Amino acid sequence: MSLLAGLDVGTTGARAVLVDESGRVTAAASAAYPIHSPRPGWSEQDPADWWRGAREALRQVAAAAAQSGQQVVGVGLTGQMHGSVFLDGENRVIRPALLWNDQRTAAQCARITELVGAEQLVQITGNPALTGFQAPKILWLREAEPSAYRRVAHVLLPKDYVRLLLTGEYATDASDASGTLLLDVRAREWAAPVLEALEIRREWLPAVREGPEPSGNLRPAVALDLGLQPGIPVAAGGGDNAAAAVGTGIVEHGRVSSSIGTSGVIFAHSDEFRPDPSGRVHAFCHAVPGRYHLMGVTLSAGGSLRWWRHLLRSEDYDALCSEAQAVAPGSEGLLFLPYLIGERTPHLDPRARGAFFGLTARHGRAHMTRALMEGVLFSLKDSLEIMRGLGIVPAQLRATGGGARSALWLELQADVFGVPVVRAEADEGPAYGAALLGGVAAGAFRDVADACSRIRLRAEVVEPNLARAAVYARYYELYRDLYPATVRMAHQLTGIAEPPAGGPGQER
C-alpha cells in the first residue's frame, strides 16, 4: 500500500505524519524550534529553523516508511499562516521572518486601510487590514528597514519557503494566500488593485494553486538527504487551519470545527464567498478547490495555558487540568481575558491586554487555571456567535488541536458553545489534512471529497451539560462587557510600556 506524507511547519515545531490509503496514520515525528521576541509585541523566527525541523521530521517518517517496506508517493504541505519570509535574488533570507502573532504593524494597517479603502479591502480580500497579515509586514520592512527592503526579490509564507527548498518552486495555495491581504479571494489570484495601491511588486509573489494541485516535485538531492524517492509530487497544500479542516472533514456547508493550539480557531466551511461586512471574522479560500471558509481566531488560546504553566514552573499540563477539573464552573466569580499578545476576533486590537478579573483571597491556582481555560473559550464563542449571525448553525463541532486531547478542554467546549463535540480518530491536526491533499496530488484519491471519505469519527460524543451551560451563559455576558470596560486603560498601559522609536530592528 502506498503512503502519503504530510508536513506541518508550525509555530513551535515541525510535524510530519505518514498516512496510508485507508486514512490510517502509520508514523509521526516532530522537531521543535524557538520563537524570538526582540521587543514587546514582536514575534520572529529564523526560517533556517523551519528547514532544520522539517528535514528532521521528514527523515524520521521516511525511515519508518522504509522499515515497513512501503513507498511514499506524495507529500502535502501546511503551516502557520501570515508570516513573511523576505528573500534576495539568490534566495538568501534577508532578516528573521515576522510571524502571524507579530503586532508591530498597527501604523501600516491604518495606512493600508486609507490607501485601499476599508470597504473595498473587505470586498476584495475578505478581511480588514490586521497586524498579523503579510501585507503590512512588507510595508513595515519598507519603512523601518529600507536597506533590507531594497534587497527583496521574493516574499513567501512559512510553508512555501520550505516548499522552495524541497522543490525549487515559488508557489503557494489559495487558502494560505488569502491571509496575505493581497489576494482577490473571489478570483483566487493576486489582487492588482491592492498591489498597485500599496506599491508591492507582483513578481515578488509566488504562483497561486489550489490545495490538492501539484506544485512541484521533490528535488533529487533533497530526496536523497531525506530518504525519499526523487520526483515525488508535492501538493500546494493549505494554511494550517484549512488543512486541519480537511483532516477533520470540514469540507461541506454547515460543518464547523474548533481548534485549540497556540492560537484558537473556529472554522466554518462555506460553498460561497460571503465576507462579514464588518470584518470581525475572516473570509478565506478553503484548501478545497473553489470553496471558502469563515474563521475566527483567538491569538493566545493554548498559548495562554503554556504561559501560565511556564509562570508556575510546572511541567505537567495534565496536573493543572486535573486541579482545574475540581473547580466549579465560573471559577467562583473569576474571569480571564486571554489577550496576552493582543486580540484578533472580534476586536481586531493589537493593543488589547490580558487580565484576571474578580480575584479574591479564596482563589488559588486551580481557580485561575480553570478561569484561564474558560476565558479562552469565551473568546472563541465570540467567533461562533458572529458566525451564527451570518447563518452558520452547527449541529456539532469537530474538535482538533492539542485541546482535543484533553477531557477538560472538550467538556468546556461543549458547555460553553452549547453543542455536542466530537473528534476524528486520526487527530493529527494540519499535517493529516496535508497528507490527504498530497494523496490527491499523487493520484491516490480522486479529489478532496474522496480523500475525506477515509476520515472516521470517534464513537464518543461530549454532550453539553445543560446546568453548566446555563452558568456559562451568564458568565459569558459578563465576559463580553469586560473588554469594552477596560480597553481604554489597556491602550494607555501599552502606550506607556512601548519603547521609543529607533529601538532594535529600526534603522536610524
| Residues identified as active-site | 240
DSSP letter, residue 79: E
* Nearest residue to 374 (alpha-carbon basis) of 356, 396, 398, 349: 356
Strands 256-260, 421-423: parallel, antiparallel or unpaired by DSSP?
A: unpaired
Strands 335-337, 355-357: parallel, antiparallel or unpaired by DSSP?
A: antiparallel
**Cα–Cα separations (whole angstroms), residue 207 to 73, 216, 250, 463:** 23, 11, 26, 44
48 in Cβ contact with 14 (< 8 Å): no
Task: Name residues whose C-beta falls within 8 Å of residue 236's C-beta, 6 or more positions apart in sequence.
Answer: 77, 171, 172, 173, 174, 209, 210, 211, 212, 213, 214, 215, 437, 441
33 in Cβ contact with 13 (< 8 Å): yes
Other CB atoms within 10 A of residue 230 CB: 13
118 in Cβ contact with 197 (< 8 Å): no
- From CA 399, how far away is CA 413, in angstroms rounded? 9
Cis? peptide before 346, omega within 30° of 0: yes
The 3-state secondary structure of 253-317 reads CCCEEEEECCCEEEEEEECCCCCCCCCCCEEEECCCCCCEEEEEEECCCHHHHHHHHHHHCCCCH
Q: At 474, phi and psi to the nearest 5?
A: -70, -45
- From CA 187, how far away is CA 172, in angstroms rounded? 15
SS3 8: strand
* Nearest residue to 239 (alpha-carbon basis) of 220, 211, 267: 211
- From CA 300, how far away is CA 60, in angstroms rounded? 30
